[in-house]
Amino acid sequence: MRIIYENEDSSISILTPAPDCLRTHAIEEIAFKDVPEGVPFWIVEDAEIPTDRTFRYAWELPENYREPDGYGSIYNSFKEIEDAKNQSR
């Protein structure tokens, strides 16, 4: 699984979570932590990422792409995310 989001300059960022990190944290938590605050992100299968990187900087999200899986948060650590979850309970 990968996390994708669009940058301010319209380029696409692709995050590949480390396997060790995925053993202890959900991919959504990784995205909340690593995607910039308020930026929509999508969790996609590896196969959705083009393998031909020739035009890597020209990649775009389709105009009518599906609803985002979430938005980047203000939190920069897993502890901050966990603390926020516990406070909202």
Mean pLDDT on 58-64: 81
Question: What is the value of pTM for the model shown?
Answer: 0.85
Name which of 9-13, 44-48, 53-57 the model is least confident about: 53-57
Q: Domain segments of the chain: what residues?
A: 2-88
Helices and strands, counts by H and E, the chain: 3, 4
pLDDT above 70 covers a percentage of the chain that reads: 100
Mean pLDDT on 53-61: 79
Residue 62 contacts by C-beta under 8 Å, 6 or more apart in sequence? none
CA–CA gap between residue 30 and residue 89 (Å, rounded): 21
Would the pLDDT of 42 be above 90? yes
Top pLDDT among 38 and 51 is at: 38
Mean pLDDT on 49-72: 85
